[in-house]
Copies of this chain bind each other. A is one copy, B any other.
Amino acid sequence: MMTGGAAAAEFKARLAAATQATESKLDSLLTPALLPGETLRPAQFLEAMRYACLDGGKRFRPFLTIETARLLGVEGHGVLRAAAAIEMVHCYSLVHDDLPALDNDDLRRGRPSTHRAYGEANAILVGDALLTYAFDILADEATHSDSQTRIALVLGLARAAGLGGMIGGQVLDLEAEQAIQSHSAETVARLQSMKTGALLLYAVNAGAILGRAEAEVRTALARFGRAVGAAFQAADDILDVEADEGTLGKRAGKDAGRNKATLVAAVGIEGARQQRDLWVAEAIGALDSLPKSVDTTVLKEAACFVAARTH
Contacts and interface: CB of A to CB of B under 8 A. Distances in A.
B139 A36 contact: no
A155 interface: yes
B45 A171 contact: yes
11 contacts: A37-B168, A37-B190, A42-B172, A96-B128, A101-B119, A124-B124, A125-B171, A131-B131, A135-B135, A135-B157, A139-B155
A121 B154 CA distance: 26
Contact of A163 (B35, B119, B158): B35
A147 interface: yes
A285 interface: no
Interface string A8-49: 000000000000000000000000001111011010110000
Contact of A161 (B44, B121, B132): B132
A124 B151 contact: no
A39 B154 contact: no
B133 A42 contact: no
A245 interface: no
A37 B170 CA distance: 13
Given A37-B168, A174-B121, A162 B147 contact: no
Interface string A31-71: 00011110110101100000000000000000000000000
A42 B175 contact: yes
Nearest to A153: B139
Contacts of A180: none
A99 interface: yes
